[in-house]
Amino acid sequence: MYKMVWTIAVFLAVSQLLFQPLFAEENVQNTTLEDLLRKIEELDKKHAAEIEDLQQQIEALEERASRTGGPGQSPTAQRLNIFNPRITAFGNFIGRFNNQDVFTEDGDPIYDGFNLRETEIDFRAAIDPWADGVIITTFEAAVPNEYEVAIEEGYLTLKKLPVLDKAPWGLKVKAGRFRPEFGRVNQIHTHDLPWTTRPTSFQTFLGGEGFIQNGLSGLFFIPTPGENNTFETTLLVLNGGGIPVAEENEGADPAFLGHLKWFWDLSPGHDLELGSSYYRGKANPAGDLESQLYGLDLTYKWKPFARGEWRSFLVGGELFAADINQGAGGSVTPLGYYAWSQYQFSRRTYVGARYDFTESLSDEELESRNFGVFLSYYTTEFLRLRFGYEHTTSDVKELDGLDTVFLEINFVFGSHPVEPYWVSR
């Protein structure tokens, strides 16, 4: 417990020291344009609920129009247009070059060379005025030419309850297969990551591709005293297993997850988000052992109104702490964390760094550390080039001294879904 408290205190203190003195409030002589932009943003946040209600009304009118026909379209044409989902295709291509042998979790060697690592097809549609649907299919290859096909996500989101015709506290219910709200990065797909690889600590506690499971999720907002902050709560009931801390659970016993997120608009151009997560589930098929996973995450973003397309800065990280019951062998309480930052110094170019530490789930004495730097260039939001370098030191012999150079190309075509607010493009 002392180790966990000390790590949390250092993590928060270093984060505060990183971002607090970096940027003073900009001194701009002519603030007319900035004032207008700030007021627009404040109005947008203040009336988010009203905008969503209007969108629901529009969807209801579209549904009604599909039955009767609309201006310039026959009823049949309108119906066909409404039932067509928005389709997006993502391609993630990498070149990887290591100074020593690297293996997958299954023990297969990952050779130096090029690989179309992932192709993803994203389908999204409004089912009716009450619900939206998402289905995401992936074709993945950790080793070149050895593809696995899977449904990464497939769920519907109820925006309001049909019985009440309105959602209390902004409640949104999600049902299906999805990425649960644990921490900052788990919900982010490969093509939206700010790095070529996921942090080692993240992979240790949530899995190589993240935590994905079937279940129910309820998101709602808690009232806050001010207009410049929001407090969001998500409660989930999931099938057991599918996560490293409870890998042997075959799903017969449910798991529970809670996530709290506090978003704070500090001042124009400065945003802070804090989050905490808690997972609890059975750790074995017999159901007599339990695992618990705790998480803290922090993200600070600076993006001035005056040069918003040319300058931005991000700093943040996540902390993981597990309590895994091993029966007669007692419990293990491994820790892990990563911290990262990214600076945008031109309209299309970003540079960043990440430090990562993790302890093994099976043996806390086995530690690994990873440091990486990356340079990203966007031609547009549909094409990104990235160069990266990572160095690993570890008590695990196969990882110690590993140096890796990456070339990554990410391309998108089709109707582009909304990215997370903290992704610059």
Least confident among 61-65, 214-218, 247-251, 307-311: 61-65
pLDDT of residue 73: 47
Residue 66 lies in a domain: no
pLDDT of residue 301: 93
Work out how many domains the chain is built from and give that number.
Answer: 1
Query: Which pLDDT band holds residue 391 (cuts at 50, 70, 90)?
Result: very high
Neighbours of 102 (CB within 10 A): 17
More confident residue, 39 or 135: 135
Residue 156 lies in a domain: yes
Among 376, 375, 372, 342, which Cα is nearest to 357's?
Answer: 372
Q: What are phi and psi of 348, to 5 degrees?
A: -120, -5
What CATH number did the domain enclosing 385 receive? 2.40.160.10
pLDDT of residue 362: 85
Q: Residues 234, 268: contact at Cβ < 8 Å?
A: no
Helix, strand, coil percentages (3-state) for the chain, rounded to 5, are 20, 45, 35
Q: Give Cβ neighbours of residue 242 (< 8 Å, ≥ 6 apart).
A: 207, 211, 212, 213, 251
Distances (CA, A) of 185 to 161, 275, 317: 29, 12, 9
CA atoms within 13 Å, Cβ hemisphere of 42? 12
User: Given the DSSP bridges, would you call strands 229-238 and 255-267 parallel, antiparallel or unpaired?
Assistant: antiparallel
Query: Which pLDDT band holds residue 418 (cuts at 50, 70, 90)?
Result: low
Q: Give Cβ neighbours of residue 246 (< 8 Å, ≥ 6 apart).
A: 240, 255, 281, 282, 283, 291
Residue-wise pLDDT tens digits, 87-117? 999 999 999 999 988 877 667 777 789 999 9
Residue 207 lies in a domain: yes
Average pLDDT over residues 411-424: 71
Residue-wise pLDDT tens digits, 123-159? 999 888 888 999 999 999 988 888 999 999 999 999 8
Instruction: Give the domain extent around 16.
Output: 2-23+32-46+85-414
- Residue 232, judged by CB atoms within 10 A of its CB (0-12, 13-18, 19+), counts as middle
Residue 211 lies in a domain: yes
Residue 7 lies in a domain: yes
Residue 213 lies in a domain: yes
Least confident among 44-58, 248-262, 317-331, 366-380: 44-58
pLDDT of residue 305: 76
User: Given the DSSP bridges, would you call strands 255-267 and 349-359 parallel, antiparallel or unpaired?
Assistant: unpaired
Query: What whole-number percentage of the chain has pLDDT above 70?
Result: 75
Q: Residues 273, 421: contact at Cβ < 8 Å?
A: no
Average pLDDT over residues 362-366: 89
| Terminal Cα distance for the chain, rounded | 40
Residue 73 lies in a domain: no
Helix (H) or strand (E) holding 281: strand 270-282
Residue 316 lies in a domain: yes
Whole-model pTM: value is 0.80
Q: Give Cβ neighbours of residue 240 (< 8 Å, ≥ 6 apart).
A: 246, 249, 250, 251, 252, 253, 254, 255, 281, 282
